[in-house]
Amino acid sequence: MLNYINLKYKTLKTDLICEFYLEPNKITIEKAAAHVALESSIGTWTDIGTMNKRIAKTLKPSVFYINKKSNIIKIAYSQDLFEKGNMPEILSSIAGNIFGMSAVKNLRLIDISFPESIIKSFKGPSFGIKGIRKITGIKNRPLTGTIIKPKLGLNEKEHAKVAYDAWIGGLDIVKDDENLTSMKFNRFNKRVIETLKMRDKAEKETGETKIYMPNVTAETNEMLKRAKFVKANGGRYIMIDIITAGWSALQTLRNADLGLVIHAHRAGHAAFTRNQKHGISMLTIAKVARLIGVDQLHIGAIVGKMTGTKHEVKDIGENIENQIIHKNSSHILEQKWYNIKPTLAVCSGGLHPGCIPSLMKIMGNNIVIQCGGGCHGHPDGTKAGAIAIRQAVNSSIKKIPLKTYAEGHKELKKALNKFGIIS
């Protein structure tokens, strides 16, 4: 078997580097690390006669870092092992068979550092943060939004009415939930038409730009058909469940260049990101999604209902050794990546007006704050819930404590009485 351990290896700018958490299974960590390196590249479980010196010399990866206390290893791969612009192939290598090997007890892909050639082979976001702020006309504050609730059950007109109430209450964005596509009781095409009609009405009444995000998740050809339907009917945004649809589908949607902002929902991610010892980190998912080209991405909420530590949500983007991405931002979605525009972080999951000051203090203004039940669950309904959300944002921008601000704003006061304040 080739020697894949080289702790003296000096990484190259052309290397793709992976950081793993590795617990070996009844063997040394060095042997387990070598198995990960070989299985994710040129090797197999035994010596083979078809391996030649050229392959071994030019394509063999190197395990260049092993920390036995933390169980962290780092592997450098030649960029020539990967097909540029093909994310499914890249992930099939570095995040494929390795998770099922008997040599490992637990294995977690923590981070990936992509070389310049691979980064430039992807399109990245079409609009990014600047493009989204240009569309919405919102310059300095967070964008505010909601998800139609209940998730399922409303017909097309009911759905559109809830969206309208949220928009005239002051929210910028209304999106479909992750499992709403085209059901018997709520057909996609009719829902898009009815909701965009109410969007136009809300824009005229408020003088603000309003956004609707229809969920186009479906079989790939149907997905494209739906996205084109949104475009033809005056939509500006689309939403896709990137994990369940898959990376290939996401690339197809981005490469179609439809001139629509792509909002990425991460439904299903916790199946492999939640276990801190095995699977794939949300950091990795965020990098891959941005590289392919999502304009907005759910990253969690820190103070909401979903799991995810403050570090995982806020500090997505602490890069590993030899990361060619310049550290000009604390957040991976906003770091400078050559031709790749920044992706807007979306905070969602159990949020309500009482969470907003804490969330903004941690995450800043370059976020989308999405409140589902925290909007529609207001004692006076959706419109009042939307008003309360905007009031909470305003209190933070003006640096006025929520309780103080609420004394002069009844919608916010009622929201705080129901949901409380998260500090």
- Note whether 201 and 235 are same-domain residues: yes
* Residue 420 C-alpha from the chain's centroid: 28
- Structural domain containing residue 70: 15-119
The number of C-alpha atoms within 13 Å of 379 and in the hemisphere containing its C-beta is 10
Q: Is the pLDDT of residue 4 over 50?
A: yes
pLDDT tens per residue across span 144-186: 999 999 999 999 999 999 999 999 999 999 999 999 999 999 9
For 96-143, where are the alpha helices, taking DSSP H only? 116-119, 128-136
**Residue 340: which residues within 8 A CB-CB, separation 6 or more?**
119, 122, 124, 125, 290, 291
Q: Is the pLDDT of residue 323 over 70?
A: no
- Note whether 108 and 139 are same-domain residues: no
Q: In 3-state terms, what secondary structure has residue 163?
A: helix
| Residue 50 confidence (pLDDT) | 55
Q: Is residue 147 part of a domain?
A: yes
Q: Is residue 7 part of a domain?
A: no
- Note whether 21 and 170 are same-domain residues: no
Q: Is residue 62 part of a domain?
A: yes
| Domain count along the chain | 2
Strand intervals (E) in 143-188: 143-147, 173-175
**Residue 224: which residues within 8 A CB-CB, separation 6 or more?**
252, 253, 256
- Note whether 294 and 398 are same-domain residues: yes
**Residue 238: which residues within 8 A CB-CB, separation 6 or more?**
213, 214, 215, 216, 226, 227, 230, 253, 258, 260, 261, 262, 263
Q: Is the pLDDT of residue 327 over 80?
A: no
How many Å apart are CA 18 and CA 65, to the nearest integer? 11
- Note whether 258 and 321 are same-domain residues: yes
pLDDT tens per residue across span 70-108: 999 999 999 999 999 999 999 999 999 999 999 999 999
Confidence label for 313 from pLDDT (cuts 50, 70 and 90): low
The catalytic residue among 149, 161, 225, 231 is 149
| Residue 315 confidence (pLDDT) | 47
413 is catalytic: no
Query: CATH number of the domain that 103 lies in?
Result: 3.30.70.150
Q: Are 22 and 71 in contact (CB under 8 A)?
A: yes
| Residue 318 confidence (pLDDT) | 34
- Note whether 86 and 229 are same-domain residues: no
Q: Give the CA distances from residue 292 to residues 10, 124, 279, 288, 343, in Å, rounded to whole numbers and listed in that order.
A: 29, 5, 21, 6, 11
- Note whether 284 and 387 are same-domain residues: yes
Mean pLDDT confidence for 383-410: 97
Confidence label for 320 from pLDDT (cuts 50, 70 and 90): very low
Tell which of 61, 87, 119 closes a domain: 119
- Note whether 280 and 212 are same-domain residues: yes
The catalytic residue among 74, 159, 210, 265 is 265
| Residue 328 confidence (pLDDT) | 38
Q: Is the pLDDT of residue 51 over 70?
A: no
| Residue 56 confidence (pLDDT) | 63
- Note whether 271 and 411 are same-domain residues: yes
Q: Is residue 351 part of a domain?
A: yes
- Note whether 164 and 307 are same-domain residues: yes
| Residue 43 confidence (pLDDT) | 62
Tell which of 70, 94, 119 closes a domain: 119
- Note whether 57 and 157 are same-domain residues: no
| Residue 66 confidence (pLDDT) | 97
* Residue 145 C-alpha from the chain's centroid: 16
Q: Are 328 and 110 in contact (CB under 8 A)?
A: no
Q: Is the pLDDT of residue 274 over 80?
A: yes
Q: In 3-state terms, what secondary structure has residue 73?
A: strand
How many Å apart are CA 103 and CA 222, to the nearest integer? 41
pLDDT tens per residue across span 216-271: 999 999 999 999 999 999 999 999 999 999 999 999 999 999 999 999 999 999 99
Q: Is residue 5 part of a domain?
A: no
Mean pLDDT confidence for 284-290: 96
Query: CATH number of the domain that 323 lies in?
Result: 3.20.20.110
How many Å apart are CA 381 and CA 418, to the nearest integer? 12
Q: Is residue 9 part of a domain?
A: no
Q: Is residue 8 part of a domain?
A: no
- Note whether 292 and 222 are same-domain residues: yes
Q: Is the pLDDT of residue 312 over 60?
A: no
Question: Could you tell me what percent of the chain has a pLDDT over 90?
Answer: 82
pLDDT tens per residue across span 348-359: 989 999 999 999
Confidence label for 39 from pLDDT (cuts 50, 70 and 90): confident
How high is the mean pLDDT of the chain? 90
Burial class (CB in 10 A: 0-12, 13-18, 19+), 306: middle
159 is catalytic: no
Tell which of 69, 91, 119 closes a domain: 119
Q: Is the pLDDT of residue 44 over 80?
A: no
Please tell me the pTM assigned to this model: 0.91
